[in-house]
A = this chain, B = another copy of it.
Amino acid sequence: MEFSVEQIASFLNGEVIGNGSIKVSNLSKIDDGKPGTLSFLANSKYTHFIYETEASAVLVRRDFVPEQEVKTTLIKVDDPYACLALLLNMVDQATRPQKNGIEENSFIAKNANLGEDIYVGAFTYISNNASIGNNCKIFPQCYIGDNVKIGSNCIIYPGVKIYHNCVIGNNVIIHAGTVIGSDGFGFAPQNGEYVKIAQIGNVVVEDNVEIGANTTIDRATMGSTIIKRGAKLDNLIQVAHNVEIGESTVMAAQVGVAGSTKVGKHCMIGGQVGFAGHITIGDNVNIGAQSGIPNNVDSKSNLLGYPAIPAKEFARQVVMMKRLPEINNSIRELQKEIANLKSQLAEKDIK
């Protein structure tokens, strides 16, 4: 697969500045650009790399004006990142292994219900009364429990485990090793021991959700744990029983959400953030990495810290924290000065 820069520019409705006949066969990051690759400049933080990149061509914005000589060929487009995304997708489609059919050595219960044009990998186990929609790809070593319903066009990567009664929508992608529907963590103290509370609910993952690798989503005690339409969850995330994650909310890796908490829609949650249980997070909330969220959060909040506070306030606190030794010294200084003033005043009295 090799294209000339002119071919690509024409496809992207872009303008070539430089040698358009040069050929590229792969994509690259601008700080890692190699000859024969097409790179891109979307983040101005990386602008300086354009003067030194070895990439054969670079996608830039139409209004980009170089501040010094550029050796690489430029393709000026309206939105370099969107163009890159398009090209990445084309490369991916062309190179990602295509899988089809039911492989031998899979286990499919007799009353499971399989759609058309699906892939079921070897050593995958599809239980009683499970149903898999059209065009799904279930990679090897997955476990699909009893009565699980999976919509159309889903990709379930190797080793995913989905417990009984869970429901997965359409166009859902779940990465390797993720567990959906494990029992919620519910125990009642009784005579100094803990007795298990049965977890009879399920997990519902709505359309267009993507879930990373080795993430865990517990089934509800009653009702459903819900990941709403278009939410994106990264790797190693913990979602406890009866949690709801709102539409188009994005969570980075290793976030933990405790039981019954509701996270709103269009939120952006940084890595390793922890949410207490039984709280409500509004919409369009932004939470910085490693924050701890003990209480409800209003919509449009922008929080950071442990416990989290408005991000601007946190930045001030961090500065203040650094000044603490200075503050401490100032107080000692003041104490001395006051002692001095007092004794001076006393002297005057004596006089």
In the complex, A162 Cα to B232 Cα: how many Å?
22
Interface residues of A (CB under 8 A from B): 26-29, 32, 45, 81-82, 85, 88-89, 91-93, 95-97, 103, 105, 107, 121-123, 125, 127-128, 139-141, 143, 145-147, 157-159, 161, 163-164, 173, 175-177, 179, 182-183, 185, 187-188, 192-200, 208, 210, 212-216, 218, 221-223, 230, 232, 234-236, 238, 240, 242, 248, 250, 252-254, 256, 258, 260, 266, 271-272, 274, 276, 278, 289-290, 292, 294, 306-307, 309, 313, 316-318, 320-325, 327-328, 330-331, 334-335, 337-338, 341-342, 344-345, 348
Contact A213 B143 (CB under 8 A): no
User: Which residues of B are found within 8 Å of A256, using beta-carbon distances?
Assistant: 236, 253-254, 271-272
Q: What is the total number of copies of this protein in its complex?
A: 3
In the complex, A341 Cα to B141 Cα: how many Å?
80
Nearest-CB distance from A252 to chain B (Å)?
7
User: Which residues of B are found within 8 Å of A193, using beta-carbon distances?
Assistant: 208, 230, 248
Q: Can you report 25 residue pairs joining A to B where beta carbons are below 8 Å apart?
A: A26-B222, A27-B200, A29-B260, A85-B195, A85-B198, A91-B198, A91-B200, A92-B198, A97-B147, A105-B107, A157-B163, A173-B196, A175-B182, A185-B234, A185-B253, A187-B210, A193-B248, A194-B230, A214-B236, A253-B256, A254-B254, A317-B321, A320-B324, A327-B327, A327-B331
User: Which residues of B are found within 8 Å of A266, using beta-carbon distances?
Assistant: 192
Contact B179 A213 (CB under 8 A): yes
Contacts A176-B143, A320-B328, A334-B331 known; A253 to B240 CB distance under 8 Å?
yes
